[in-house]
Amino acid sequence: MKTIALVAHDGKKKALLSWVSAHKAFFADKQLVATGTTGKLVSDALQQDVMCLASGPLGGDQQIGALIAEQKIDWLVFFWDPLSSQPHDPDVKALIRLAVVWNIPVACNQATADFIIHSSLYQQNYQRDVPDFSLHTTRFDRT
């Protein structure tokens, strides 16, 4: 099962909540991890369990970064707010840095988050619709 980390700054929480709500069915079979306040809001919006870590300014970003370094997170959706300063800005940068270091998909806005969902759905459908790809290749090789 895929594990997705969700984080949003206060100025972007509304955007994240409307985005996750629009994709409620997609998240139903995913494991969700989030910083404290974001996680509570997402859990209420989706009526789904979310592993809530500490609030961002209290170390939640660092906890998610640690999970990334332990390879327990498949992708990160982090709606950070480019128009307000954060007291824990070094933690924010460290989290994004670790997502890049560990080469996991990371979406910092809705357009990219949509891309990742569409790509993930495409991969699921491709794997389901073409299960006998190797068989097909073998048959082709014999002719």
Ligand X SMILES: O=C(CO)COP(=O)(O)O
Which residues are annotated binding-site positions? Answer: 9, 13, 35-38, 55-56, 88
Residue of 29, 44, 61, 81 marked active site:
61
Residue 34 Cβ vs ligand X, minimum distance, rounded to whole Å: 6
Burial of 99 (0-12, 13-18, 19+ CB in 10 A): buried
Candidates 111, 112, 109, 115; CA nearest to 81 is 109
For residue 65, state whether it binds ligand X (rule: CB under 6 A): no
Measured from the CB atom, the residue of 14 and 136 that comes closer to ligand X is: 14
Q: Six-digit token pair at 96?
A: 């994004």
- Strands (E) located in 19-136: 31-34, 51-52, 75-79, 106-107
For residue 20, state whether it binds ligand X (rule: CB under 6 A): no
- The reply to whether 129 belongs to the active site is no
How far does CA 3 lie from the centroid of its chain?
Answer: 7
For residue 63, state whether it binds ligand X (rule: CB under 6 A): no
Measured from the CB atom, the residue of 84 and 125 that comes closer to ligand X is: 84
Round to whole Å and give the CA distance between 36 and 109: 20
Out of 16, 38, 42, 73, which residue is the one contacting ligand X (CB under 6 A)?
38
Q: Footprint of ligand X on this chain (CB under 6 A)? A: 7, 9, 35-38, 55-57, 60-61, 92
Q: Which residues are catalytic?
A: 61
